Chains A and B, each alone.
Chain A
Amino acid sequence: MSSGDIGVGPGDSSFAEAGPELIQLLTPEGERVEHPDYSIEISPEELRAIYRDLALVRRIDVEATALQRQGELGIWASLLGQEGAQIGAGWALEADDMAFPTYREHGVAWCRKVDPLDIISLFRGCDNGAWDPVATMFNLYTVVIGAQCLHAVGYAMGMQRDGGNGATLAFFGDGATSQGDVNESFIWASVFAAPVVFFCQNNQYAISEPIEKQSRIPLFQRARGFGFPGVRVDGNDVLAVLAVTRKALDAARTGQGPTFIEAYTYRMGAHTTSDDPSRYRLASEMEAWKLKDPIERVRAYLIRSGYADADFFAGIDAEADELAARIRQGTVEMPDPDPDSMFANVYAEQTPYLTEQAAGFAEYHASFATAEQEA
């Protein structure tokens, strides 16, 4: 039997394309459509605010990529093309919810009021992220693929035990669904009915490997085997993502257990600035996805419905330019950390040995200053 006989795989339309299960409320052309299970009440003012978030986050991303190209950042992980998925998810979060990002959730970070410069500092090599994960309820970026999904479940189990009102939102990519930790997190969440929502951005690639290298069935269908619902939403439709994520978080908060959301999207940029996608994918694929751009469809809808005029868009563009300038200036002026800061916070209660090592480090460096004075 050839692999095609099992009905899934690269040749199967439900696999290569989003398929009929795709939840959509705003078409790529900017038309509002209804869905039997998901609806959204949203005011023109909120729509404009969503557009603003989408546009500003893309501008941050473009600026960061440029800063990397100019040698100001060591690396940058672009979110280009995933703004709809991230702003939709970010808008669904309430104050008591806790988000567990990978290293690409700059859009969710923006919704959690994280200063973009506190993310940039990580990619510049100054720290591991400068924001306060407790104050922002946005965990620090986790670079080991999928490890944060278990943290999100554990945190949710904590909410169950201390009477918290929130839920957790665990972010991960299509590649991460192959990780043991991610699968273990599904099992834990299911068994303990933990208030967690799994938000998978299927951007079609894990660096170079297409989704076919990770799965023989559509990802959202896996949830059923773990004992909770899985849904596939148009990840480039910010309204559908918001509606689906909001409903899933509500269910989690009210004791109905986890949901798996597959946000079907596309990584329009490289994996990171160190990557070269021309080695593994066709330009024509990118052109097809450009027609599904998450920002253009909101813009079209705003214009079509008369909710925004040229002045509004000009205002957003000007604000984006200001933001980019602030990021550029903040980046180039960002000081290097003190070398002796590497010894801080290794432990809550520093060991005598490390204290001794830190003192030796300081003494060694001071010896150069002494030698210079004597010379």
Chain B
Amino acid sequence: MRARTLGSTRGRAAVDRVTDAAHPIDVRAVVKRFGARSRPALDGASFVVKSGRRACLLGPNGAGKTTLIRILTGALAPTSGEARVFGATPTEPAWGVSRRRVGVVPQLPGMYRDLTAREYLELVRGVYERGDVDRAAQRLGLTRKHLRRSMAELSGGWQRRLTLAAALLCEPDLIVLDEPTVGLDPVAAREVIAMLREATAGRTALLCTHNLAEAEALCDDVVVLRDGRVVLDDSIEELRRRAPAHAAIGVREGAEAAVQALRELAVDARVDGARAVFLATDPEANLPPIVKALVDKGLSVFECVATPPTLEELFLKAVQTTAQDTNAHRDGEELSS
């Protein structure tokens, strides 16, 4: 809205150029304290979401995810640092234009009893100054019957569709989703994930979630927050490439024989059912020589499977590593003092 006060078309065009060139999300050393003596909700968080990428923001309860989203939407101001959306912060003239390029699905919002679903979508359209209510509703499967009902009368799944329709109404370039499936039953959650997959295609997205399966299904990149700090920021593909895969080898002579032979090859294997399992970095390069060595030892290999680590494993590893680092750092500080 402030950008409009620039007045001239030239000014508006300049704002558009600036915001088009910038990353959709650029968070730099953001600190947020609610009170001078309180523990920071965000403690120097920094990350970037590039155009067209879908990033998930993961972290345990109290990690600062919702605070970060509120800072990105301009609802809260950072204590220090800056969070830019399409190159602008809320204190800059270009913010109005940038903010209108963002659709937000809030976490478990309340529903008005005295407004119908259509009235709410009309309100959203009025605020964004663009969008087609009927088209947005139709895309999410909301019928005229749904639109005539009070927002609070809709079921949980339909309420979530409504908030998603509101976020997509303005055809945003960036969509921010704060725990979009929390509180839904598994069937409704699956439906919402399917809709999100469609809605985020070709858009930049930031998905804040606890649900790792949901993050894995919808996102390219992962940002892990812990105690207000970013402890991991990478693409899921790259993380998988770097992290060891779970390898399982089956031999006709039995799992014990396979484990014995693998240990002779200096591979730390263990028995898991009828298979010998171990962690293998770069399985494409390292597993064929291992299989060949087992065959050379006279074992009849009938199976070799490499399973990439799940996002859950990557997440837990990142969080545990940070916790150990933090504890080690604290111990060091205590010793030095």
Chains A and B form a bound pair: no
